[in-house]
Structure 1
Amino acid sequence: MNKFHGTGVAIVTPFNADGTVDYNGLKKLINHLIEGKVEYLVSLGTTGEASTLNNTEKKRIWEFTAEINNGRLPLVAGIGGNDTAEIANSIKNFEVNGYDAILSASPYYNKPTQEGIYQHYKALSESSALPLFLYNVPGRTASNVSAETTCRLATDFKNIIGTKEASGNFDQFNQIMRDKPADFMLISGDDPVAMPMISIGAVGVISVIGNALPLQLSEMIRLCLAGNYAAALPKHLNLIEFTRMMFAEGNPAGVKAALKHLDICDDHVRLPLVKVTDGLRQAIVAETNRITA
């Protein structure tokens, strides 16, 4: 199986009460995910609160993650932004050993045209020594990477090997599956739709809830990839309420509340994010207990 088939987890960045990075918590989390049998790890995606980390912190987190992982799982580095030249330079100068690919979200706020998105990823492709994953998340970027642009990039640049699709648009997923090169990977960027996406040909998920429940999620995803949907369905349904809670007051505040309850790391986030309210926290604790009992 391809090393990026299955469950990837977009790792949270644990923080101490004073806002500094909690490296002990990060170590516990990485080991928790590996023991939970996920297939690969994504460091400093949206869930990792990368937008509130400076360049020194990012480099140290990437290095530390590679050190603790120690070659046990494939690693993907999240490097994205809305300044093409800056991101291309960051990718060109990415020197952290132990990483297998880069995940880069489509530019946010600028609202580029499809040609602008194509030229952006063309520049990243030409700057990268590692394979690249596109990341389409219109709810955050305010622009959609169309199926046509995705497949154009997949065809024109062999080091663009897949896309994390979080548009929620199954018409778009269908078009990508129909028109993409055979070896180009469609990956779910949303936990709730990973199962139906796999049913049309997606190769897995890059998950948020997998931070807290890696074993439960990765088992379900592997059953889907094996075509055993009858066995996967009850496991999928069992995670629905937990998944809803994870996003009820924003990501990663929800999953950090679950991780605190599991004694893996604390639930501190950096402003402008805030912790979940006490009522939601109590509901998350109860649901986590139910699933892990």
Structure 2
Amino acid sequence: MTIVTASNSPPEGVFVPVPTFFKSSPVPPALQAPLDVETQIQHSTHLAKNGIRGLVLLGSTGEAIHLSRAERYELLSGVRKGLTEAGFPDYPIMAGILVNSVDETLEWLADAKKAGAQWGLVLAPGYFGAAANQENLLEWYTLVADLSPIPILVYNYPGVTNNIMVSPETYTKLAAHPNIVGCKMSHGNVSHHVQVSLDPAIDHSKFRVYSGFGQQLGPIVMFGAAGVIDGLAAIYPRTVARLFELAVKRPVTEEALKEMQTLQFAVSRAEEMIVKWGIVGIKEGIYQVLKMGNLEGGRLPLKGRMPDGEWENWSVAMGAMEKFEQV
């Protein structure tokens, strides 16, 4: 299957910030377990076959900060090759770019292009987040976009950037840049999502707004957002994708609205596990539901699994998702 977009912008829909899979134990003299590219491809192909419009590889969930440059390239190029062999040669891939230096950001972007990613999801530079201002963020992103070999999206995740918030006014200015094609807002300020999604000064066919939370999918998509980049969809792709289909369809019938409300409740409730357990919870869910990966978690300091019995504590929420997934 080939997905063609109307421009160099990513498609609307549900993207998944996929976790990076590792083997169970290191191979001496290595200190940490190596990548499990085979499982990475298996999981990515499963998502592509079940309604997910694209992947974010090496984002925050993908632990790019815990990987070497060689490992990042190995993972990106391996998944691109695996998807092509599975019949998805142009499947959308965003590569996470999680560094503060302009020069290193451009290095990551060049590697991402070479490995087969179409876009870079560029995290706001937050090491000195408390001292950053909107003018400096605008200049930083403009400089990166001017020189990036692939189109970029602005990635605003205050939880890992010392609480940087990109303002709606800054998005309006950045959206005018020909090489900035969207944003991901990983925060709970729904007003920012709606303002940027509906801003008449922005060309929304070119600049796409995504939330990092499936809890917000229905409300923000009904008010102009392009979709979500959602961790729960790594476990239950069909259900989250179905929710998007209902939210984007016009006109909204009473029957469709009722189904959307039912699905949004189930998704929002299940997302509480993702909020609490993050990467460890996503990996546990993939193992429990899809039988992929292992229970070793991520790399230090994220190594490990949920406590015994914790997955079962979420049986009501996950059981509902499982039923929807089978419809």
Distance in 2, matches of 1:39 and 1:114, equals: 32
**SS of 1:202's equivalent?**
coil
Residue 301 of structure 2 is aligned to residue 272 of structure 1: yes
Which structure would you say has the larger Rg?
Answer: 2
Give how far 1:72 is off.
5.2
Distance in 2, matches of 1:287 and 1:264, equals: 21
- Paired-residue identity, %: 24
Q: 1:116 to 1:106 in 2, by over 3 A?
A: same
Higher relative contact order (CA 8 A, sep 6+): 1
Deviation per residue, 1:164-204 (Å, 9 max, x gap): 11232123223322243343211112121121111211011
Give how far 1:6 is off.
0.5
TM-score, normalising length from structure 2? 0.83
Q: 1:154 to 1:185 in 2, by over 3 A?
A: same
Residue 275 of structure 2 is aligned to residue 247 of structure 1: yes
Which amino acid in the other structure matches residue 144 of structure 2? L
Which amino acid in the other structure matches residue 233 of structure 1? Q
Q: 1:35 to 1:255 in 2, by over 3 A?
A: same
Among candidates 93, 99, 114, match of residue 75 of structure 1: 93
Q: 1:39 to 1:93 in 2, by over 3 A?
A: closer
Distance in 1, matches of 2:22 and 2:112, equals: 24
**SS of 2:14's equivalent?**
strand
Among candidates 43, 60, 80, match of residue 29 of structure 1: 43
Residue 31 of structure 2 is aligned to residue 11 of structure 1: no
Q: 1:10 to 1:149 in 2, by over 3 A?
A: same
Q: Which runs of 4+ in 1 moved over 3 A?
A: 92-95, 227-230, 284-290
Aligned to 2:159: 139
Unaligned runs of at least 5 residues, structure 2? 26-32
TM-score, normalising length from structure 1? 0.92
Residue 229 of structure 2 is aligned to residue 206 of structure 1: yes
Aligned to 2:122: 104
Which amino acid in the other structure matches residue 73 of structure 2? K
Which structure 2 residues correspond to residues 1-293 of structure 1 after superposition, within 5 A?
Answer: 3-18=10-25, 19-70=33-84, 71=89, 73-111=91-129, 112-142=132-162, 143-155=164-176, 157-176=177-196, 177-178=198-199, 179-183=201-205, 184-227=207-250, 228=252, 229-249=257-277, 251-262=278-289, 263-267=291-295, 268-273=297-302, 274-284=304-314, 287-293=317-323
Retained in 2: the 8 A contact 1:103–1:135?
yes
Distance in 2, matches of 1:16 and 1:241, equals: 31
Distance in 2, matches of 1:91 and 1:286, equals: 42
**SS of 1:46's equivalent?**
coil
Distance in 2, matches of 1:182 and 1:256, equals: 34
Q: 1:93 to 1:30 in 2, by over 3 A?
A: closer
Give how far 1:289 is off.
4.0
Distance in 2, matches of 1:95 and 1:42, equals: 14
Retained in 1: the 8 A contact 2:194–2:223?
yes
Give how far 1:76 is off.
1.2
Give how far 1:85 is off.
2.2
Q: 1:235 to 1:286 in 2, by over 3 A?
A: closer
Unaligned runs of at least 5 residues, structure 1? none
Distance in 1, matches of 2:16 and 2:168, equals: 24
Retained in 2: the 8 A contact 1:11–1:43?
yes
Retained in 2: the 8 A contact 1:105–1:135?
yes
